[in-house]
Structure 1
């Protein structure tokens, strides 16, 4: 698959195509979309865990941590371990504001602390201690401490780490040569033995927990041995995390990855996007091309673009070609990290090689390395409304589970009841909750109809019953056929598909649960009415995860057309694990997920009915060829 990816890169770079210059259309009202998040703050300059009660650093002094905002610190540990299994300590260190909010404590930017003098045992009250983002980030970056687990009931340490013990290759396989090249990243240092133990733990997790372990038949033992045999003299946590990311990228699963921060700060100050087989550079705020006369990026710092794409490809998942292509290009923003991969020196400026669209003229452009990473954000920035010719436009930039978001979907559908057609715009929607699908699909189901929209099998842990009646994936709306909560219509829909379903990949039988089903019927949303006019869904390669499920549920339904470009392809339900010595947090998919057609979601994505190429105007928001195509499709269907 990695070789296939490089061939794709060669094809993209050699393809000659003109940039779409569609006529501008009347721009609908635009609205920026934002999501409220908890502030990432901490009152501590450091934190360590000699036991269930942490010790914290204030200034240059260490103290025992008795309480925060009136809550005993051990009680808070126990609460966080229950709320975030296996990640409670990490959440306290990195998400203290959120943890306290869930306990009913609303903070501004100060907090009261009770501390214990480590020499005398005296309790010290510190009031209105200022919390900052810099302190929180410093604690996160120092997370090389032993990732202790605590038994919630007793509050005592528990060492239950499992590792694979076996003989290892002393000579790595040639196909894993890239895994032997460790990037030169500064950070907390680890011993070679600590890395070997963490690799043994990672191997056990891949072998015993990872749903897509065998999907691409990756020799993961050989890959891990390549990392093991090449441990440098002074390995660091960020460098080790980068090597783990390269291993996980081999499996073709977009949800399985390293979550700990390992990419160096320092970014290219522009965005990139593939247009007509060429990679174009855009200003970070999408106000225009980086250089109007020379828009095509062909090299950086004296190296051709192919070399930079290959370096970015090392840490990008071998998922669907369209998903990987887009993510590899986006990875070019991480210029400081990629320089370490390519063995280039650190510099404060970037030398870009640009060319004209006709490839006849070339230009060098010097730009600075910036501290703030440019983001692609939610795009297009448009609000739901009724467009010309009485066509409803429903913009869904993310799959939120918030009540107000779901209520707004119902409100919009009431507004669209008398429209002559409906456009649901999912472009750039990277996923989230399945609640939007539960809310909207009933509007497009016949009276009494139940639709199976997802089938999946859960990767069992040791001792779990594969036939457990209630199943293991309630948070995805997935239940076994034996579940007692099905309606008659849902049960009939399951029975119809059970006899004929055949997945395009067969997981190891004894390692997975019985099939689970995600079934939606019209009564799933009591507010739904039958919407019978033409429906168009807009999509692209950035649609992923829960958005893939949404698209798959609508694909092939009567009166529904999918327009744009194929989605990313992902539905793995990843779970988090922390490696003991390095503190590196990883995520591994826990289910094998399929469409009712038998096709996997992961690594494939959802195909379109009408393909629309990417254009400069659509990326900048000056025109929208895809939306115009949708309007034309609905107009022709009247």
Structure 2
């Protein structure tokens, strides 16, 4: 058979058709990653992980000892896994490795089904833990406290679970509950047998104890309840009500497009109190930040009238890498030095010169972020005279722009922060996927510093009123807490002040050594107990 030009064209067309069909198959069908990994596959994934951390992690570049520890922990991990290993257990090992970075922005997700977990909901109460069912009721009302799992003290399980929690969020109640519930992951790490049942030891915290044998759960149990209980309608049709305004925001990027939410918060700024729930807020829009700066500025005093507001809020720099362009931080509101005006450049230069970083060659140039109080962002002076208050509910999942909202709001006297400490996730992330396990990893690739030259990344913002965000918050209890905190904040008082009337009003007297007397200390302790009682009330549905 003669092989001429038409045959060549036909063969070429056939090859092109096969390539198109193959590309369509790869596009339409998701890649199925392995549920078990061989030793060589784990070794390959770990090599990719180490290389990506070395090249792109800002926290690995900031502290070489963290990265050195990860490298040291990888070799025995591969050595122990002589046979194949389930991908989910490999995922747990990756989480434990990256916890060493102390990176608040590290996110590790697995494409496979989760491993068995505890069949109960854990709830911390002081130094004990409650064991609750799906309706948030103790599984045994006469023995509500859990003391042992599979015969081992709960403290031992909690100690093991801390290995999987990064330092910036290791005090978070939600993180502690999540990892303490990962039954099979903790069993394997402790060398315990993997069974389809779990033995729980329950107590009344006195002298009565029982044991329950329950089947393990496939998914972590969550009570199907609202975040705020007993909440009244926020605003009437006329826009006025005696009840505070409540709004929950989960996507900051949609803030300016949600006209109903914007109008609600604008009307709420005229009310006595507005509460915004940011526990799960994500997104990079700064509209809410500027709304708070406009409507809840600090009251004007002689001091802030004579001093110009700080023009810059923070400086940042990203991990130097061929994968990052010079505008890497611009989506987070950071711009280069030459785009600032003269006075902003003075602040910029003064702060950048005070920051001393080892291995500075691993980071790029400095970038700055303007403060919402800068001259370019004018706020309405009429709001200075109002007495409206704002409460923000925050937690470890309040990240990126939400972190900036919490950080800035901490400096405002008319704003109260409620909830748990944020994680300090202020940087831009870099993501990659491990080839065999399909585990997706995101790492922080930039660092942020305040205008005093102190590191902000991984520090987080402390709430004014600490409350576990995993609990349902009672509306009236929350209002009582905010009112009490605002009263304490408005009371200008020091023990060394000559204002004896203020001391008498608080019931605090001084001895000859200028310290509070015994009676005064008792009074202050009673005030502390009152705040504790209010916190308990706020968590009572």
- When normalised by structure 2's length, the TM-score is 0.71
CA 271–235 in structure 1, closer or farther in 2 if over 3 Å, else same: closer
Query: Residue deviations 1:575-618, cap 9 Å, x none?
Result: 2112234433222111112344544344322123x444559xx9
Does the C-alpha gap of structure 1 residues 272 and 482 become closer, same or farther in structure 2, counting only changes over 3 Å?
A: farther
Q: CA RMSD in A?
A: 4.0
Change (3 A) 1:313 1:259: same
Match of 1:173 in 2: none
Structure 1 residue 460 and structure 2 residue 320: aligned?
yes
Deviations 1:248-293 (A, max 9, x none): 011111322422246733332332232323222333344x344444
Identify if the C-alpha distance between structure 1 residues 625 and 238 changes in structure 2 by more than 3 Å, giving closer, same or farther. Answer: same
Question: How many Å apart are 1:494 and its aligned residue?
Answer: 5.7
Aligned match of 1:297:
146
Partner of 1:204: 51
Partner of 2:179: 331
Gaps of 5+ in 2: 1-14, 299-304, 492-541
| 8 Å contact kept, 1:423–1:630 | no
Matches for 1:114-513 after TM superposition, within 5 Å = 142-144=32-34, 187-190=35-38, 192-215=39-62, 217-218=65-66, 219=68, 220-261=70-111, 264-286=114-136, 288-323=137-172, 326-356=174-204, 358-375=205-222, 379-380=227-228, 385=234, 390=242, 392-403=244-255, 406-426=258-278, 428-429=279-280, 431-435=282-286, 436-445=288-297, 452-462=312-322, 468=326, 471-483=327-339, 492-493=343-344, 495-496=346-347, 498-500=349-351, 506=357, 508-513=359-364
SS in 1 for 2:37: coil
Q: CA deviation at 1:209?
A: 0.7
> Counterparts of 1:284 and 1:551 in 2: how far apart (Å)?
32
Alpha carbons 1:503, 1:594 under 8 Å: kept: no
Distance 1:238 1:283, change over 3 A: closer
**Rg larger for:** 2
Change (3 A) 1:425 1:620: closer
Structure 2 equivalent of residue 114 of structure 1: none
Matched with 2:458 is 603
State the alpha-carbon separation in 2 of the partners of residues 235 and 360 from structure 1. 43
Q: Report the CA distance shift for 1:472/1:631 in structure 2 as closer, same or farther (over 3 A).
A: same
More helix by share: 2
Note closer, same or farther for the CA distance 1:501–1:248 as it changes in structure 2 (3 Å cut): same
* 8 A Cα contact 2:122 2:129, kept in partner: yes
1:562 aligned residue: 417
* TM-score normalised by structure 1 residue count: 0.61
Among 627, 631, 634, the alignment partner of 2:479 is 627
Contact conserved, 1:505 with 1:600, CA < 8 A, in 2?
Answer: no
Distance 2:444 2:187 in 1: 30
- 1:349 and 1:295 map into 2 onto residues whose CA distance is 20
Q: 1:223 offset after TM fit, Å?
A: 2.0
CA distance in 2, matches of 1:54, 1:397: 49
* 3-state DSSP of counterpart to 1:248: helix
Unpaired runs of 5+ in structure 1? 1-50, 56-62, 68-72, 78-91, 95-138, 145-186
Cα contact 1:268–1:369 (8 A) shared by 2? yes
Residues 300 and 350 of structure 1 are in contact (CA less than 8 Å); yes or no, is this contact kept in structure 2? yes
**Which position in structure 2 is the counterpart of 1:587?**
442
Number of equivalent positions: 455
Is the Cα–Cα contact under 8 Å of residues 448 and 455 in structure 2 kept in the other structure?
Answer: yes
Question: Cα distance 1:579–1:596, how it changes in 2: closer, same or farther (>3 A)?
Answer: same
Cα distance change of structure 1 residues 229 and 188 upon mapping to structure 2, 3 Å threshold: closer
